[in-house]
Structure 1
Amino acid sequence: MAAVWVGVKGTVKDSPGFSAGRDADGIRKAISGLGTDEASLISILTQRSNAQRQLIVKEYQAACGKELKDDLKGDLSGNFEHLLVSMTLPPAVFDAKQLKKAMKGSGTTESLLTEILASRTSKQMKDVGDAYYTVYGKSLGDEISSETSGDFRKALLFLANARRDESSKVDEPLAKKDAEHFPLFNMYQNMMLYNAGEKKWGTDEDKFIEVLSLRSLPQLRLTFDAYQNICKKSIEDSIAGEISGHLEDLLLAIVKCARNTAAYFAERLYKSMKGAGTDEYTLTRIMVSRSEIDLLEIRTEFKKLAGYSLYSAIKSDTSGDYGNALLKLCGGDD
């Protein structure tokens, strides 16, 4: 399972000369006694891969008879606690917990559902669905069904079902055919509707949702190009012009991820630190979940977007142990 969660552009890699027993002991020493040695916790947990952290968790439980995450919760607080506890979880469990949080209580955090479901591969979503069932005893699809509605729900369920084609092969005629369904978003393209045998006006969200949720990312990029050729406008402009609300946000997120996943996350990080307050919850989630996959690419995209490095943004926006741990995950200045 671990392999599909590791990319070549991560900032966190397996630590050479790793010993789970030695690290578990180091962590025990850092949190036992009167004060906490935060620096030791940071240097161990942020510099080990998730696979290695899972071994530390096992060793810690065996040696101390307690769960590491519980001891961290008992010893730390605030954003720093949330960050380190997040790092002790397997990636699929971490995502499952984020999704649960998004659907808990009286409102639904649609932006969080959108971020995770739009950006994960089918293999990852399958792992998340399994983890969700293991942790909560409920199916992710059932929870999404009861917490969301309409076309937004339909699109989320397509994504949660993890049926996106993962192959790198592309099919040009299919791209053109798919693109010809999309002009249902252009009132001036009504002739196209009739040619396609669609004797109706308005937007065919179903077809749109289906194509964006099921086609491979390289295939989608080809479709977006075909669409641009047919309609003389970008797929993003059409979505923004014809769809609104949470469905618009979700479809645009899928398009952004299909075009450039790292750029999508760079934008999310930029927004989490822009303006008056910092959205630490989003900042933590992205830094933890992308640190072994594509954080190096995200750093590059962040600098392009912001004009300054992700490292300097984190440095000026966060402080204390929380800030130090994030800087270690970031892995360097650009």
Structure 2
Amino acid sequence: MTLTPLSTLPCSGSLWDQKRTHFRLYCFVSKHQLHTTMAGRGTITAASPFSAEDDVQKLRAAMKGAGTNEATIIEVLAHRTIEQRQRIKDAYKQSVGKDLIEDLTSELTGNFEKVVVGLMMTAPEYDAYELHNAMKGAGTEEACLIDILASRTSEEVQAINAAYKKKYDKSLEDDICGDTSGMFKRVLVSLTTAGRDQSNTVDDAAAAQDAKDIYEAGEARWGTDEVKFLTILCVRNKKHLLKVFDDYKKVSGKDIEDSIKSEMSGCLEDVFLAIVKCIRNKHAFFAERLYKSMKGLGTTDSVLIRIMVARAEIDMLDIKAEFKKNYGKTLYSFIKGDTSGDYRKILLELCGEDK
């Protein structure tokens, strides 16, 4: 990404605002990608040696003439990190004078195309793209809004907000407010503010009080005070909430998940459950989402694609381990049995070894 030095820009007017927004997005994306690389629990690692120019030539050859060599596209894009794919994309535009994503979409179709397009975006761009698609047109894919906003860190949500504004010239919060309603909307808006406490501080007395407040807002009264659930579940830090969950069971005799199920319904139940599950074990949450996307008749491809693309470089190894532990079969075997063609091939590459 090439940025004009801020010192050379005027300090007022739309140009300054645009460059400032550009700079902030660059910082968010770079910081997020550094965090992702440091995590080191993905199935995708940096290719070495790596030459963006060589990869551009391979991709050009794969798309020239009649027909498309999908195997080459998989070989290249499923074995490069996000940062390396961005360098390929830039090199493609420089040497070919065309946009790589546009060329790929003109050559590919169906779910295979969706995976490839997702791989060509940075992590914040992909989340913003998925959120926008979930809300555009008639109807809303609430599951997408929940999956992303309930599972991302505050730092990641800030980067998503910046990417969304840059790409669609609207704030994510505004689109959520226009497309959802009621308490579900309020929970999503709270998550979008990225205001969760980032400390590791646990105050035992405060955690006990939060557990008591949630109990009194739900199980102990007629009706439910959903705002109390929102205030605690969307704002408190992870360690504090784990203590709250333990204390809640002592107060109520039930797991908080069971109380949420009995007190709420629909999307509100789903989003609060997702928050609790991600606080307890984010890898198990994604494993469950993948399992449910493939079990039984049919496949919820939107969920399968979104998780495989978004988590391949971050924590897919941990998700695979949770999948095998909880469901007795490997994620690889599920994908192999539930998909086909080039779509199956690229997902299996993102999944990694069958273990």
TM over 0.5, yes or no? yes
Alignment partner, residue 353 of structure 2 = 332
Whether 1:4 aligns to 2:46 is no
Tell me which of 332, 338, 345 is aligned to 1:311: 332
Q: Are residues 186 and 156 of structure 1, via their aligned partners in 2, closer, same or farther at CA, if it must alter by over 3 Å?
A: closer
Amino acid across the alignment from 1:214: V
**Corresponding pairs, count:** 323
8 Å CA contact 1:14, 1:48 repeated in 2? yes
Q: Deviations over 1:5-54 (max 9, x none)?
A: 44221111111211111111211111112222211111110111101111
Alignment partner, residue 76 of structure 2 = 44
Separation of aligned partners in 2, 1:29 and 1:169: 55
Shift of 1:305: 2.2
8 Å CA contact 1:185, 1:242 repeated in 2? no
Correspondence list, 1:1-334, <5 A = 1=30, 2-6=33-37, 7-187=39-219, 189=220, 202-334=223-355
Shift of 1:170: 2.5
Separation of aligned partners in 2, 1:100 and 1:50: 21
Paired residue secondary structure (2:234): helix
Separation of aligned partners in 1, 2:154 and 2:192: 8
8 Å CA contact 1:5, 1:124 repeated in 2? no
Separation of aligned partners in 1, 2:197 and 2:338: 39
Separation of aligned partners in 1, 2:284 and 2:171: 31
Alignment partner, residue 17 of structure 2 = none
Q: TM-score, normalised by structure 2?
A: 0.88
Paired residue secondary structure (1:119): coil
Shifted more, 154-163 versus 174-183: the winner is 174-183
Shift of 1:168: 2.8
8 Å CA contact 1:185, 1:239 repeated in 2? no
Alignment partner, residue 198 of structure 1 = none
Separation of aligned partners in 2, 1:235 and 1:28: 54
In the alignment, structure 1 segments of 5+ residues that lack a partner are 191-200
8 Å CA contact 1:184, 1:202 repeated in 2? no
> Identity, % of aligned pairs?
47
In the alignment, structure 2 segments of 5+ residues that lack a partner are 1-29
Separation of aligned partners in 2, 1:168 and 1:314: 37
Amino acid across the alignment from 1:248: E
Q: Deviations over 1:59-79 (max 9, x none)?
A: 011111111110001111111
